[in-house]
Structure 1
Amino acid sequence: MEAALKNAAHEEVVSFDQEGNVVVNKDCQMSKKLMARRAIEAHLERKRLEKNFDEHYFEDM
């Protein structure tokens, strides 16, 4: 029973499509507010990583 709860907690809620858009798994059992928060966090994390990559890439050139 606990294993099932742990797997449900690690369910993929947010992903990105080929164009970089945020895709939310609407079949998830989370509240709408929590899903929205995860989508915002994923978007901000992706932007931060892109910025860090660009800074690092152009420093080496």
Structure 2
Amino acid sequence: MAEIINLRLARKAKARDTAEKTAATNRAKFGATKGERQIRAAEEARLTRIVDGAKLEKD
């Protein structure tokens, strides 16, 4: 005999799985913690200072 399933629960489980997959792709695309963003900004500022300090000024 076939297994009896509750369609409402099956639909909700499928919706949760879809939402989790969407969330995972969005986290990969947009997600960075505040600390990671601060580290990246500090590194970019440091590199900018190094490059600007090494430039030779033209008169």
Which of the five TM-score ranges fits, normalised by the shorter chain? Answer: 0.3 to 0.5
Q: Which has the higher helix share?
A: 2
Q: Provide the TM-score with structure 2 as the length reference.
A: 0.44
Q: Which has the higher strand share?
A: 1
Q: Which has the larger radius of gyration?
A: 2
Structure number with higher relative contact order (C-alpha < 8 Å, ≥ 6 residues apart): 1
